[in-house]
């Protein structure tokens, strides 16, 4: 079992919305600008933060989750990154101790120190109590310090720093500044490529962080964060390499279909697939392909454009009628129904491959880690959506809660339709690496089973 050493830090917060993604992006951008090789990981399932984290670091961003991706997979990815990187940054999920498993669980498993980002905009002395609680709530958690975010003034920063029991824990303050806020909407952050000034926003954040003790750490200082990462003997990168050999999978990728794990793409290619990317919004037909993957995204924001692109709709219908496989996740499934009804009650016709309608909700309809039993194995993943669907199709099967978790009502339905059951669709987002054999079967005709 080999070992590789690299400075590594987990940036967490007491809750969502504290600004930790902005801080991670600022730290990654700051060190990348200084010529260091930075690798960033996202704790837990997340499709949107990685767009910004990848832009800031200049490197691919993968997920780390002790259940969904698995402890061995996490260990191997960190080990591999440590062989080439000068700094590894892991962004936590929700609050430091939220979730099963939590960001704190990940930090303790791999010996990562924790930097806590706290929105201090409405507090003074309580800042110190909150920092103390995060540091000492769990025995054995390594703590690197605390950064105050959205601070009103230099005088406010002095009050916050004075409230800490251990002055050495102070890593500085970021002043309240709308320019340091990454824009959001339902499901998460607006993607970086939708903004003309994405990199400028990151540079502004990096410049602000450069004035703090956290941002002034040099290569020597970073060694205080050094971690020895061991590769995992139990993880294998030997995917069934011939499973998708010679097959081309068309992958939708644009503003409407953008929820793609980099590791899922790597997994398909490791099994021999050739990936052909296309835009359902802009292109008039599918690329020449054997199978189609429609990932999640925001079809509800682009329903009119999708409906107006009749040539693309016809190309997808022809693909389905030919009995070629389709795997549609969440937003990809939504676009396959007859209509999407927005929050104002307005109906937008879409592709009509699956019977029924999707209705957008103003509140979250489902959230949480789940797993789906499939031929070839069990796929781990999660669900996260603001819509519900009504269809005459029966559920071929349903997801189950992650071990130790419970579901509110039934699990997500897996719908099977099309010629010879070639279309498989669900709100469930799959992590292909959890069962490459099962993932491969999503893109194979039934006669290959």
What does the alpha-carbon distance between residue 15 and residue 34 come to, in Å, rounded to a whole number? 30
Domain limits, the chain: 3-230, 248-448
Torsion of CA 423, 191, 172, 217, to 10 degrees: 80
> Parallel, antiparallel, or unpaired for β 38-43 and 248-252?
unpaired
Give 280-302 pLDDT, tens digit per residue. 999 999 999 999 999 999 999 99
Domain 248-448 fold is Rossmann fold (3.40.50)
Give 1-40 pLDDT, tens digit per residue. 689 999 999 999 999 999 999 999 999 999 999 999 999 9
What does the alpha-carbon distance between residue 151 and residue 133 come to, in Å, rounded to a whole number? 20
* The CATH homologous superfamily of the domain defined by 3-230: P-loop containing nucleotide triphosphate hydrolases (3.40.50.300)
Give 401-444 pLDDT, tens digit per residue. 888 787 777 899 999 997 778 999 999 999 999 999 999 999 99
Give 69-111 pLDDT, tens digit per residue. 999 999 999 999 999 999 999 999 999 999 889 999 999 999 9
Q: List the catalytic residues.
A: 330
Give 215-227 pLDDT, tens digit per residue. 999 999 999 999 9
Return all residues near 266 (Cβ < 8 A) that are at least 6 apart. Answer: none
What does the alpha-carbon distance between residue 299 and residue 387 come to, in Å, rounded to a whole number? 11
Phi, psi of 301 (to 5 degrees): -80, -15
Q: C-alpha angle 63/64/67, rounded to 5°?
A: 120
Helix pair angle (49-57, 20-33), 10° resolution: 20
What does the alpha-carbon distance between residue 301 and residue 181 come to, in Å, rounded to a whole number? 22
What does the alpha-carbon distance between residue 6 and residue 229 come to, in Å, rounded to a whole number? 8
Structure tokens at 396: 């071929």
Q: C-alpha angle 363/94/267, rounded to 5°?
A: 90
Cα-Cα end-to-end distance for the chain: 36
């Amino acid at each position: 079992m080999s070992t590789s050493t690299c400075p590594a830090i987990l940036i967490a917060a007491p809750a969502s919305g504290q600004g930790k993604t902005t801080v991670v992006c600022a730290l990654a951008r700051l060190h990348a600008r200084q010529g260091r090789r930075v690798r960033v990981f996202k704790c837990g399932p997340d499709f949107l933060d990685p767009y910004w984290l990848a832009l800031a670091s200049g490197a691919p961003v993968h997920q780390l989750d002790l259940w969904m991706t698995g402890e061995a997979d996490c260990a191997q990815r960190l080990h591999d990154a440590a062989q080439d990187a000068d700094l590894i940054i892991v962004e936590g999920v929700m609050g430091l101790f939220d979730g099963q498993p939590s960001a704190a669980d990940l930090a303790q498993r791999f010996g990562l120190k924790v930097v806590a980002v706290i929105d201090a905009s409405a507090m003074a002395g309580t800042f110190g109590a909150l920092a103390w609680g995060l540091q000492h709530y769990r025995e054995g958690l390594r703590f690197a310090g605390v950064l105050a975010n959205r601070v009103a003034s230099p005088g406010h920063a002095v009050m916050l720093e004075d409230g800490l029991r251990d002055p050495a824990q102070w890593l500085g303050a970021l002043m309240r500044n709308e320019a340091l806020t990454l824009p959001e909407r339902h499901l998460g952050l607006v993607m970086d490529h939708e903004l003309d000034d994405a990199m400028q926003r990151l540079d502004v954040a990096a410049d602000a962080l450069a004035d703090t003790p956290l941002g002034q750490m040099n290569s020597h200082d970073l060694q205080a964060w050094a971690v020895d990462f061991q590769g995992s003997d139990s993880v294998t990168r030997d995917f069934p390499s011939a499973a998708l050999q010679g097959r081309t999978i068309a992958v939708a990728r644009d503003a409407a279909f953008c929820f793609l794990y980099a590791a899922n793409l790597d997994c398909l290619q490791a099994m021999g697939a050739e990936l052909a990317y296309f835009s359902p919004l802009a292109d008039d037909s599918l690329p020449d392909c054997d199978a189609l993957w429609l990932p999640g995204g925001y079809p509800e924001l682009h329903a009119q454009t999708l409906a107006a692109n009749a040539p693309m709709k016809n190309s997808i219908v022809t693909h389905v009628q030919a009995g070629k496989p389709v795997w549609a996740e969440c937003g990809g499934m939504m676009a396959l129904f007859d209509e999407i009804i927005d929050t104002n009650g307005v109906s937008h016709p879409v592709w009509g491959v699956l019977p029924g309608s999707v209705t957008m909700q103003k509140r979250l309809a489902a959230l949480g880690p789940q797993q789906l039993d499939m031929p070839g194995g069990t796929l781990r993943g999660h669900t996260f959506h603001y819509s519900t669907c009504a269809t005459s199709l029966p559920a071929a099967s349903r997801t189950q809660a992650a071990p130790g978790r419970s579901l509110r009502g039934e699990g997500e339905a897996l719908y099977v339709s099309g010629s010879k059951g070639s279309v498989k669709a669900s709100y469930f987002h799959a992590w292909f690496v959890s069962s490459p054999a099962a993932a491969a079967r999503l893109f194979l005709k039934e006669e290959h089973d």
